[in-house]
Structure formats: C-alpha cells, structure tokens
Amino acid sequence: MVLVEDDKETRSLLRRVLEEEGFSVLAAGSVAQGREALNRELPALAILDVRLPDGDGIALCRSLREEGALYPILILTSRTDVASRVEGLDAGADDYLCKPFAVAELRARLRSLIRRQRNAPEETIVTAGSLTIDIARRQVFREGVELPLTRRELEILERLLSARGHVVSRRTLLEDIWGEESEHTAASLEVLVGRLRRKLDPLGADDVVRTIRGVGYALGLTPQTSGDDAR
C-alpha cells in the first residue's frame, strides 16, 4: 500500500488505520516521494491526496493510469464539488473520499476496493456488436480502434456488454462496482455513464448506452438470450 498525503496528522491517522486493516504501508508527503515509493514496489492499493507541495494527486493518478497501473486508486481531498469528483474519476481513480471523513467509511471503501481487485478475472475478453473489451489489459476496441476509457468506465461497460443488450439495474452496478448504494455513488455512476456515452456516441449510435428510466442502463443491442429486463 502506498499513501501520499502531506498533512502529518492525517498521514499518521491513515497509516494507523491501514496497518490495522493488515496493509504494509509506504507513506509519502509529496508527489516525488510518492513516485519513489511506487517505483520500489507494486502496491495493492494507492491513496493519493489532491493538494501536495510539489503537484497534485489527480495529475499523479492520470499519469499512473497512462503508464498502465492497474491497482486501485483512492483520491482523498477536501474538495466536495461535483466538478472535482468528475476530474478525479476521469483521471482514472476508482474512488473519491472527501475530508473530513469517518474512519468507518474509509475502512469500508478500502475493503470494497480490495475485494473487487481480488475478484477481478485474470483474463477475460468480452465482445458485443462492434465492441471488444479486454479486461486484463484494460483496453476497449470498436472496429479495431481503441477507445480511451478510465478504469471505472471500463467496469461499467464490461457489465453492460456481458448483459448483451438486457438492462442492468442501477443497484446492481452500484453494488458490483462501488460495493454500496448511496447518494454519492449514484451521482458518480451518472457522471461516468454520461462520459461513457459521449465517448461511444461519436463513433456510431447502435450500441450507445441507453438509460432505462427507473431501472438502469443497457447497450443498444438486441438481447441474445431471453430473460427479465432487469438484472
């Protein structure tokens, strides 16, 4: 586990909580120190503060994803506005926790992130229509052209692809991807679905994400198996 947080008191608290959860922690107080820690070992998870003395955690997160980092990343910040959450998620963060935070919530989010990481398939390729998603390599292609998607966008798309045109309920997406259903996670889901739709739409409308009001989401494909509309 790598923790990048410049405030000494917060860093000490986080380190204690993480060690109580069984993590071996490499703590850093700046982007440069965080980079050094991340280069020393592959972490099970990284926690990045946004405001750091030599940069910011969101830029670091984006850089790590561009370099192919697959481990879960939690952004920690005092910013509470929607635009900041969108920026963090678009940069490739898996979760976003605002300060001040409850230790119980932090523990729950960490357990959820690690659980999803451990349950992720080592190699799965899913296809539907003109879309192909390689989960292991975090790549999505449409007619041979790779689409630039964040980790969370990939998770959402993979579940919708697996449904083969059937509706996937909002509750299912929230519980599978975030591990909980709350106002915060519901807002994050809407943001990510909107981003995903805009990324797919310019290339054609046959498999754009559809919103099924009051139920959930589906790709605009003809279902290949019979069953209920909602999963």
Last residue of a domain, which of 60, 92, 119?
A: 119
Which residue range forms the structural domain that includes residue 102?
Answer: 2-119
Q: What distance in Å separates the CA atoms of residue 174 and residue 185, rounded to the nearest whole number?
A: 7
- pLDDT for 3: 95
Asked whether residue 86 is domain-assigned, the answer is: yes
171-192: average pLDDT: 85
pLDDT at 123: 47
pLDDT of residue 205: 45
**pLDDT, the chain, mean:** 80
- Torsion angles phi and psi, residue 28, rounded to 5: -140, 155
Tell whether 226 is covered by a domain: no
For residue range 9-51, list pLDDT tens digits in order: 999 999 988 888 778 899 999 999 999 998 877 788 999 999 9
Instruction: Clarify whether residues 112 and 175 are in a common domain.
Output: no
Residue-wise pLDDT for 134-148, tens only, equals: 766 667 887 778 888
Give the Cα separation of 65 and 139 in Å (integer). Answer: 12
| Residue 184 belongs to some domain of the structure | yes
d(C-alpha 41, C-alpha 36), whole Å: 9
Q: What is the pLDDT of residues 182-193, one digit of tens each?
A: 888 889 999 999
**Cβ(217)–Cβ(173) under 8 Å?**
yes
Residue 171 inside a domain? The answer is: yes
Q: Quick one: 114 and 9 in the same domain?
A: yes
The β-bridge relationship of strands 209-212 and 55-56 is unpaired
Instruction: Identify the band that residue 168 occupies on the pLDDT scale cut at 50, 70 and 90.
Output: confident
pLDDT at site 229: 38
Establish if 11 belongs to a structural domain. Answer: yes
Overall number of domains in the chain: 2
pTM of the full structure: 0.56
Q: Given a cut of 90, is residue 5 above it in pLDDT?
A: yes
* pLDDT tens, residue by residue, 104-135: 888 888 888 877 666 555 546 766 667 777 76
27 and 132 both lie in a single domain: no
Q: Could you tell me if 131 and 92 are in contact, meaning their C-beta atoms sit under 8 angstroms apart?
A: no
Residues 45 and 130 in one domain: no
190 and 113 fall within a common domain: no
Which residue, of 66, 101, 119, is where some domain finishes? 119
Q: What is the mean pLDDT of residues 79-83?
A: 79
What is the domain-level CATH number for residue 88? 3.40.50.2300
Which domain-ending residue is among 89, 119, 149?
119
On the question of pLDDT at 230 being above 60, the answer is no
Same domain, 104 and 187: no
Residue 228 lies in a domain: no
